[in-house]
Amino acid sequence: MTTILRLGHRRGRDDRISTHVGLVARQFGAGKIIYAGEKDENMMESLEDVVKRWGGNFSVEYNKSFRKTIREFDGTTIHLTMYGIPFQEKMEELKEVKDKEDLLIVVGSQKVPKEIYDMVDHNIAVGSQPHSEVAALGVFMYELDGGKIPQDFKNAEIEVVPQEKGKKTLEK
């Protein structure tokens, strides 16, 4: 299973971006997101509501201590940072690791504590210029799964009916 750790969430300031990190994580096949920083029940409930209505096996958790989350994680830890090794250089290795063990993908918000770089197994860069953690997570997870995007979300109450124009959904 792939778990996302979102560092440094700040209520009222990071709600939208943190929600989008969770939405991207869910869409691209992660099984869980853990938020560290300030506890934000409203933001977490918003994501849980998406899972309830749109389906999937995705959970939302809070752990104030990112350190404890990383230290206690049983698997490989990957920090997405613009200062890391380009993901293209490590992708084949990481795909093999993913097939054998769980992954914890760490994404930041405010300035990432320096110690993170030493705590994780891999520091990986999607780009070496300032960019969005949402975009980095999406690109990385897309490549990690070989360009596949999960489409089947079990237990959905709502389903999109693809069409050329307009919007159509089915209520189940």
In this prediction, residue 26 carries a pLDDT of 96
Residue linked to tokens 């237990």: 155
CB 26 within 8 A of CB 149: no
> What is the pLDDT confidence band of residue 15, given thresholds at 50, 70 and 90?
confident
Of the candidates 110, 104, 89, the one whose C-alpha atom is nearest the C-alpha of residue 141 is 104
- Rounded CA-CA distance 38/40 in Å is 6
In this prediction, residue 141 carries a pLDDT of 96
Q: Could you report the per-residue pLDDT of 72-126, keeping only the tens digit for each?
A: 999 999 999 999 999 999 999 999 999 999 999 999 987 889 999 999 999 999 9
Domain ranges of the chain: 2-171
Q: Is the pLDDT of residue 23 over 90?
A: yes
Of the candidates 14, 25, 18, 13, the one whose C-alpha atom is nearest the C-alpha of residue 51 is 25
- Rounded CA-CA distance 136/17 in Å is 13
- Mean pLDDT of the chain, nearest integer: 93
In this prediction, residue 58 carries a pLDDT of 95
- Residue 41: phi and psi, rounded to 5, are -60, -40
2-171: CATH number: 3.40.1280.10
For the question of whether the overall pTM of this predicted structure is more than 0.85, the answer is yes
CB 106 within 8 A of CB 116: yes
Q: Using the 8-state DSSP alphabet, how is residue 130 labeled?
A: -
